[in-house]
A and B are shown apart, each in its own frame.
Chain A
């Protein structure tokens, strides 16, 4: 990699604002995410974390503000176009394709997002290797309605991975899991990050955020109140206030 490539951000968010009627969920948020970075996004409930994710993935249209992904303006692109360019996400409340098996869930991603014309066997191999990596190999033909909570979380990450993302956004993938399961998912995310995938992780479980992130950003009421290394952000007075409430 040349120097200029490493310096240009993977994702650049410029002065992003999102309003719902009279309510402003995001106030002019600007942030750069570097390629390969492990980025933690925290903030109290209703602070705008998921709204920001929805804006990045294209579920919401934004009025003022631009989003650049690999130097391309994607602000007006539909979600599926963003996925094809390399932005994948999981959902806070898992949203599997319920009428399908785990394998079929991943096939959707491979059919539509993986791009190149690859043969059925190749796709099947890709799918199996992703599932094995996620520890879901044995569930390949299981219906998604029969998965446990942690398996659903993993399935969502696997489906996201099948789109071959450059940026993976994990929206509270550990919510509601036991502490050993949290570690399991955390290890998964770390192993993905070690393969050059940039990851934005939204999380309420602080230990997980601290262990995972190289950089943390804290939102409160739609504004960035702190950004920096995990310890810097944790030490910030405003972050503590936002979490403890005033």
Chain B
């Protein structure tokens, strides 16, 4: 039942899967990790992006990755708008806002789910592309191309976003806003504008991430629930706002899921990320590497 080959297989798949998980968590790492927005709707936006990709692929035979790129600007605008609304109604009001902010995003996630159900039904949907369905054999290990594509794009995406945050003026401003809003104001930048842009970027990235999601496996309207666990587990484990950490944490989760899947079967898989998240939160209520003391 258990062999070294099987374990090796699980680890390799887990690493690839992990990189993919990292890519879908990047946005949350910015919006929740850096900006402190309680973005429970992040996974719902992710699934929404997958359905947009599915729509383009199904009706116009657009390659999923190209479709992902195409919807990115729309998601950018969506992100800008959502942050504006969130800021005007919650952040500005202060104290009691966090409770309602959480409820707000929970409600948004719920609306997205239902709209998808009304539009596409509850059945699973998948995309077609040349690299889906085939596998690459490496010795005894069989690696599906779809995972490899996801892995490659995910890694590239993480690197791009890291470069953006560290090398561009706006990127540095985004990181500064997480550290010290006042200092940024003194430098003549408007922290609200910076945060809005950051949230926009975080949402835009979901365009590609959503494409990866539906490339890796078929999606259904309530898939976002499972990804609440995965994305938050990763972002919290990584230490809020650390993109490099996000990738490492994602790989840890990917490998853990893959091993549990191999040893105990698929029925336990949904609980892995949530159990890890609970464990981390219980030990460190502020997350594994709390940004502030």
Contact = CB atoms under 8 A, between A and B. Distances in A.
A20 B293 CA distance: 7
Contact of B96 (A20, A21, A98): A98
Interface in A182-233: none
A63 B2 CA distance: 48
Q: Is the interface of A mostly helix, strand, loop or mixed?
A: loop
A25 to B, nearest CB: 10
Contacts of A21: 293
A99 interface: yes
A243 B25 CA distance: 47
B95 interface: yes
A191 B165 CA distance: 55
Interface residues of A, number: 4
Nearest to B95: A98
Q: Is the interface of B mostly helix, strand, loop or mixed?
A: loop
A99 B96 contact: yes
A99 B96 CA distance: 9
A20 B96 CA distance: 28
Contacts of B96: 98-99
A30 B143 CA distance: 65
Contacts of B95: 98
A20 B291 CA distance: 12
5 contacts: A20-B293, A21-B293, A98-B95, A98-B96, A99-B96
Nearest to A145: B95
Nearest to B290: A21
Contacts of A20: 293
A150 to B, nearest CB: 20
Interface string B95-118: 110000000000000000000000
Interface string A1-29: 00000000000000000001100000000
A145 to B, nearest CB: 10
Interface in B216-260: none
Interface string B260-293: 0000000000000000000000000000000001
A87 to B, nearest CB: 23
A99 B293 CA distance: 28
A98 B99 CA distance: 14
What 5 A-B pairs have minimum CB-CB distances, sorted nearest first?
A20-B293, A98-B95, A21-B293, A99-B96, A98-B96
Interface string A93-113: 000001100000000000000
